[in-house]
A and B are shown apart, each in its own frame.
Chain A
Amino acid sequence: MAEQSHYPHYDVMDEAEAWDDHTRDVVRKRLAPNGNFSFLTSQEAKTLAKIVATLTDDERSEIISYILSYIDQRLQSKIGESERKVGIPKEADLIRNGLALIDTVAKSSAGQEFASLTLQERQTILGNLERQQLPVPWPDKGFPQKELFNKLLRLAVESYYSHPLVWSEIGHGGPAYPRGYVRTEPGLLDPWEAKAEE
C-alpha cells in the first residue's frame, strides 16, 4: 500500500477545458459546494462531517463539505434508494436517527459529542457500529447499526472518490470526451495523463 500519492504534481483539472460542457459543469460544482443544507441540521452536519472524515481518512474541509452537500441533497431528493432491505427504515430516517444515536453513545461512553472525540475514539465507535456492537440505550437495541454503517460508508466513499482532488492524487485520468484515450497499450500514456514520480 502506498503512503502518499504516486502523482504529487498532477492536477486532473488542468485538462478541464478539454472536457464537454456538461461534464465540466458537473465536476466543477464539486469544488465549490454550497454550504447551505436543506435536510441536515447544523448539529447533524457537524456529526456527519466527522464521521465521513473518519471513514475517508481525510479532514480537508473542501472535500468534507462537498461530501456533506452531496449527502444532504440526496436525503431531501425524491429519487429513490435503488434498493432498501425489508424492515430497514427509509434512508433519511435511518441517517437522521442514526446520527442522533451516535451522538448519544459518544456522550455516554466518552462524555462528549462525537465531533469532539479523538480520531481513535471515533474509529472505535464506527468500528462497533460496523459490527452491530455499539452499546446503545435499550429502546434502540434493535437499531440496524450495520445497515447505518454500510449506508454511511457507501455515501462517503462514492462522493469522496468523485472529488477531483482525490482523482488527482490517485492518478485517475478523469473525463475524456470528446478527446478519448489514444495510447492504451502497456507502458503508453497520453501526454496529459498522470506520470508516476517514484
Chain B
Amino acid sequence: MKKPNLKDRKFGADEVDICIVGAGAAGGVLAHDLAKTGLSVVLIEAGPFWDPQNDFASDELAMSTLGWEDTVLVTGATPLTMGQNNTGRGVGGGTVHFTGVFLRFHESDFKVKTRDGVADDWPISYSDLAPYYDRLEKEIAVSGPKHFPWGQFHGPYPYPEREPTSTNAMLFRQGCEKLGVKSTVTPLAIISAPFDGRPPCINRGFCNQGCMPNSKFSTLIQHIPKAIGYGAEVLSDCMVTQIEVDDRSGRVTGVVFVHDGVEYRQKSKVVILANFVVQMPRLLLASTTAKYPQGLANSSGLVGKGIMPHSSQDVYARFDQEVRLYKGTPVLASTLDFYETDKQRGFVRGYTIHAHGSRPVAMARGIANSAKLWGLGLRQMMLDFNYYARATLVGEVLPDLANTVTLADEQDEYGLPRPIVTFSYGQNDQKLIDHGVAKMKEILSAAGGKPEYVTQDTAHLMGGCRMGNDPETSVTDQWGRTHDHENLYLAGAPLFVTGGGTNPTATVMALAARTADHLIAEAKRGMLGQLTR
C-alpha cells in the first residue's frame, strides 16, 4: 500500500481549484478529467491506496477488506447487507470489487414518470449521457459483442467480446435459446486483448476480490494514476469529517479530514462529494452550522431520501454434469429481454438477468442464510458445489422517500454519528422480483438444471441526493451542483433519480464525466464555483 505523506502535502495550506471526497468510480473520473485540463486537484479517500499485485489475494474471506466494513446501522422491513455487498473502501472504491459489467441505461430509464406514471423523470435524457458512454467505453476498452440487442446502443464494442466464456454462461445461453429469450456475451470492463499496458483476462475468477493481473478496469489502475500524472494529489487513509461553509455567503470553503488521529484541512474553490450513497448524505447531514441546522444542501429536506438498491436474488440450479461456478470471470452472459415495462406482467419497469459464477464462501453463505440450511444439509449440498449453475437478477427498485440514510446517536471513532440505512421493498419491487425469479428458474430448467435454492440479496446503491430542476424536490441541478451552495457539487450514484434495471457503474462514470465537462467549461469562462460575478 502506498502511504500518503501528510507532512509534505503538495498544496498544503493553499486553496486548490478542486477538492474531491471519495476516490471511486465517480471521483476517479472527475480527478482525471479535471487534472488533465490543468486545474489543481486534491482527491481525498478514506481507505488505503492498494497495490493490486501485493495487497490483493485470490481469496474471498481475506478480501472482504475491499468493502466499507465500518459499521452502518440498518433497519426497515428488509434491512440491507452493507460492506462489500455494495460499498467500496480504498482508492478505486467500488470499481475495485465490481464484476466489471459495463452496461448503459436505456432511454426509458430517464423518463419513468412520463412513461410509467411513477417516481420521477431525470433532468437529463439518454442523449445527454450518450457521448460520455461512448468516450468511457473506448477509454477503458470495454470488451463486448459486435451486436448488442437492447436499448439505444447496439455495438460494436471497442474490443471483441470475451471468449471462451464459461460452462455457466453457456448453459444459461442454451436455456435462453430454448425459451426464445435473446441473450448475449456481457459487455465487460475486463479486456479481451492487451490494452494500455494491461494484459487480457486470465479467467482467474476473483473479480470481486480485486483484479491481480490488472485486466479488469478500476479507477485505481486506470484514471487515478493518470490523474496523478496530470498533477493531482491523492490523500488516501484520510477520512473527511466535515465540509466547511461560510454562513454569510453560503459558499463552502473546504473540508476537514483526519489521518492517524490528526486533523487537517484542505481549502478549495470547489468541493465535490463523490463518497457514495451512505457516506455522502451522512457527511452533508453531519456538517451542520447555525445557518444550516439540517445539514448542507438540504433545504429540500431530501438529503438521504429515496435510496435504492437493485433487487439481486440468485437462483441456484443443480445439473447432472459439472458446471464449476468458480471458473473464470463471474458474469459472461446476460439477457435484457425483460428490461422494459410490459403492462401484462402486472408491474412497471424491469430487470437484467446475468449468468453469475460464484466461489464457495459466497455460495455457502448465501444459501445458508436464505434457505436456513446448516449442519449435514449444508455440508452435503456443498459437496455438490461443482454441479450448480447460478443466475442473478438485477432488478429495478422504485424510489421511495421512506428509504433513507439518517444519523444515529451512536458515534464512530471520529466522533461522527453513524449512519442508519432504512430500506423496505415496495409492492412493485416485490412483483418484479417474483417475475424475475420465476424467469431465472425457467431459463436454468430449460438448460437441463433443477432449480433448488433462491437467495435473497441486493446489489448496488443509488439515490439519496437526487438531481432535478426544482430546488424544492431535488438536491442538485443537472450538473450535480447543489441548489443551496454554488461551489458544492455532488457526483455519482446518489444523484440517480431512478435506479434503472441494470448495473450502474457505466452511468455513474458517464454522469461524473459530464460534471467534469461542465466544470471545465465554467473554469474556462472564469466562473468556477460561481453562479454570478
Q: A166-179: contact bitstring with B at CB < 8 Å (1 yes, 0 no)? A: 11011111111111
CA distance A19 to B58 in the complex (A): 9
Known: A80-B69, A166-B360. A20 touches B202 (CB 8 A): no
CB–CB A1/B383 < 8 A? yes
CA distance A40 to B359 in the complex (A): 30
Known: A1-B384, A170-B385. A82 touches B68 (CB 8 A): yes
Kindly identify, within residues 37 to 73 of chain B, every residue whose CB is under 8 Å from any CB belonging to chain A: 53-62, 65, 67-73
CB–CB A85/B68 < 8 A? no
Q: B165: CB under 8 A from chain A? A: yes
CA distance A3 to B56 in the complex (A): 35
CB–CB B380/A1 < 8 A? yes
Residue of A nearest to B332 (CB): A184
Residue of B nearest to A1 (CB): B380
Across-interface contacts of A169 in B (CB, < 8 A): 383
Across-interface contacts of A166 in B (CB, < 8 A): 360, 382
Give the distance to chain A from B456, nearest Cβ to Cβ, in Å: 13
Q: B431: CB under 8 A from chain A? A: no
Which of A20, A54, A184 counts the most chain B CB atoms within 10 A? A184
Kindly identify, within residues 191 to 221 of chain B, every residue whose CB is under 8 Å from any CB belonging to chain A: 201-206, 212-213
Q: A140: CB under 8 A from chain B? A: no
Known: A123-B375, A169-B383. A178 touches B213 (CB 8 A): yes
CA distance A79 to B68 in the complex (A): 10
CB–CB A26/B374 < 8 A? no
Q: B177: CB under 8 A from chain A? A: no
CB–CB A180/B204 < 8 A? yes
**Number of chain B residues whose Cβ lies closer than 8 Å to a Cβ of chain A:** 73
Q: Which of A6, A57, A157 contacts B386 (CB 8 A)?
A: A6
Q: B299: CB under 8 A from chain A? A: no
Across-interface contacts of A82 in B (CB, < 8 A): 67-69, 71-72, 81-85
Across-interface contacts of A20 in B (CB, < 8 A): 53, 57-58, 212
Q: Which of A26, A55, A180 contacts B62 (CB 8 A)?
A: A26
Q: Which of B364, B420, B421 contacts A157 (CB 8 A)?
A: B364
Across-interface contacts of A23 in B (CB, < 8 A): 57-59
Across-interface contacts of B498 in A (CB, < 8 A): none
The 6 closest A-B CB pairs, nearest first, are: A180-B202, A82-B83, A175-B58, A2-B383, A80-B71, A1-B380
Show the binding face of A for B, using Cβ within 8 Å: 1-6, 19-20, 22-23, 26-27, 54-58, 70, 78-87, 123, 126, 130, 150, 153-154, 157-162, 166-167, 169-182, 184-187, 193-194, 196
Question: Given known contacts A54-B375, A82-B82, what 14 new A-B pairs fall within 8 Å (CB)?
Answer: A1-B377, A1-B384, A26-B59, A26-B62, A82-B69, A83-B71, A86-B74, A87-B75, A162-B59, A162-B361, A175-B57, A180-B201, A184-B327, A187-B321
Show the binding face of B for A, using Cβ within 8 Å: 53-62, 65, 67-75, 79-85, 164-167, 170-171, 201-206, 212-213, 321-322, 324, 326-328, 359-361, 363-365, 368-369, 372, 374-386, 408, 413, 420-421
